[in-house]
Structure 1
Amino acid sequence: MKFLAISGSGRATSTNTALLRAVSEIAGSDHQVAVFSGVADLPVFSPDAENGPLPLPVQTFIEMIRKNDALIISSPEYVRAIPGGLKNAIDWLVSRDEIIGKPIALLHASHRGDDMLAQLRLVLATVSDGFDPENFVRFELMKLTPAQISQTMLAPQNQSKITDFLAKFTQQDI
């Protein structure tokens, strides 16, 4: 099964991106995980921009979603809300078929962020009937470097959580 793991952060040293890269490394041969860390590269959404050819970064993002079986999203919380870059990325998908019915689940790299997660769950349940709010795993990785996150995720208990998380996706009707 092919997963697109979308980081909601625009930071180069993002905790969420590092978590998703670790997931990509942990995934077994039954699962391929590609990481998208380019929410900051997407232009601001406007319905007017959908009338002509889409901007190239948006075309690339949409094509990545189309080519994958399911989406994993991991995002920080900014001011108790969904980061603007991630919300913008989702806005580009609202009027498109690629997101409808696409299985989506969340990972989280912090012990906090519940307000953002509640908002994100509401938005994702609105744009895709494939969103599974129950398939969720949280790790406490704040203040770790990407290298430390990679090392932490290699611990057997964390690898097990990730393989169970991915297996749950595989059991969904896709």
Structure 2
Amino acid sequence: MKLLALSGSLRARSSNSAVLRSALDFFDGATTTADIGALPHFNPDLDGEDATPPAPVAVLRAAVGAADAVLVVSPEYAHGVPGVLKNALDWLVSSGECVHKPVAVITASPFPTGGDHANAQLRETLRMMTAEVITAACREIPAVGPLIDPATDRVKDEATLADLRTAMSHLTAAATTAATATTATPRPSRTA
């Protein structure tokens, strides 16, 4: 089982990165975190039917395509999705790697809302991309700062850890079901 993680924060020691690492600790399989900071700005002129995608885009698409499931962990900026994460998703819209792929969305915020705006926007974008958003695996974590242990750069709060364990168990179950399905759904052809 392979899991690809996408982080909406480029900061090495962000609270969302700590949440992501803590969640990955509960996945029983291979995990990779994509480097979305190296992606160029999405430009449809670079992504036409006969175009060769920029190298970082090809790497991202291959990683998503090879994964059995995707975990998206993100902060919320100005009631929205961070630009770097939206840019990464834009590069995946027409290529088809997310089609029917089990995906979980976790947002964490220093505020009491838990990043509910970004969480809802990410789920909507992923559904439009025909990803299989696993609602039982999605989470909003409010007031995240005190929940993180700065020494380990992981979540220290036991209730939050238990919730992350449950979320990852739902994502793993969905990925296992998808991988063992008797009929594969063909991926759509790319459109410009």
Give the TM-score of the pair, scaled to structure 2. 0.77
Which residue of the partner structure matches residue 9 of structure 1? 9
Residues in 1 aligned to 2:151 and 2:62: alpha-carbon distance in whole angstroms: 30
Matches within 5 A, 1:7-156: 7-24=7-24, 26-27=25-26, 30-36=28-34, 38-51=35-48, 52-110=51-109, 111-112=112-113, 113-139=115-141, 140-142=143-145, 144=148, 147=151, 149-150=153-154, 152=156, 155=158
| Structure 2: tracts of 5 or more residues without a match | 179-192
Contact 1:23 1:33 (8 Å CA) reproduced: no
Contact 2:42 2:91 (8 Å CA) reproduced: yes
* Deviation of the 1:152 alpha carbon: 1.1
Q: State which structure, 1 or 2, has the greater radius of gyration over its C-alpha atoms.
A: 2
Equivalent residue letter for 1:15: S
Q: Which moved more, 1:3-12 or 1:133-142?
A: 133-142
Residues in 2 aligned to 1:127 and 1:147: alpha-carbon distance in whole angstroms: 38
Relative distance call for 1:148 and 1:108 in structure 2 (3 A) is: farther
* Deviation of the 1:68 alpha carbon: 0.9
Contact 2:69 2:102 (8 Å CA) reproduced: yes
* Deviation of the 1:86 alpha carbon: 0.7
* Deviation of the 1:14 alpha carbon: 2.2
Residues in 2 aligned to 1:27 and 1:167: alpha-carbon distance in whole angstroms: 8
What are the superposed Cα offsets for residues 23-45 of structure 1, whole Å, 9 maximum, x if unpaired? 22x225x3333222x22211001
Contact 2:80 2:118 (8 Å CA) reproduced: yes
Residues in 2 aligned to 1:138 and 1:148: alpha-carbon distance in whole angstroms: 22
Contact 2:108 2:144 (8 Å CA) reproduced: yes
What are the superposed Cα offsets for residues 89-114 of structure 1, whole Å, 9 maximum, x if unpaired? 00000001211111111122224321
Equivalent residue letter for 1:60: V
Equivalent residue letter for 1:45: F
| Structure 1: tracts of 5 or more residues without a match | none
Contact 1:4 1:64 (8 Å CA) reproduced: yes
Contact 2:9 2:82 (8 Å CA) reproduced: yes
Give the TM-score of the pair, scaled to structure 1. 0.84
Contact 1:4 1:33 (8 Å CA) reproduced: yes
Which residue of the partner structure matches residue 185 of structure 2? none
Equivalent residue letter for 2:33: V
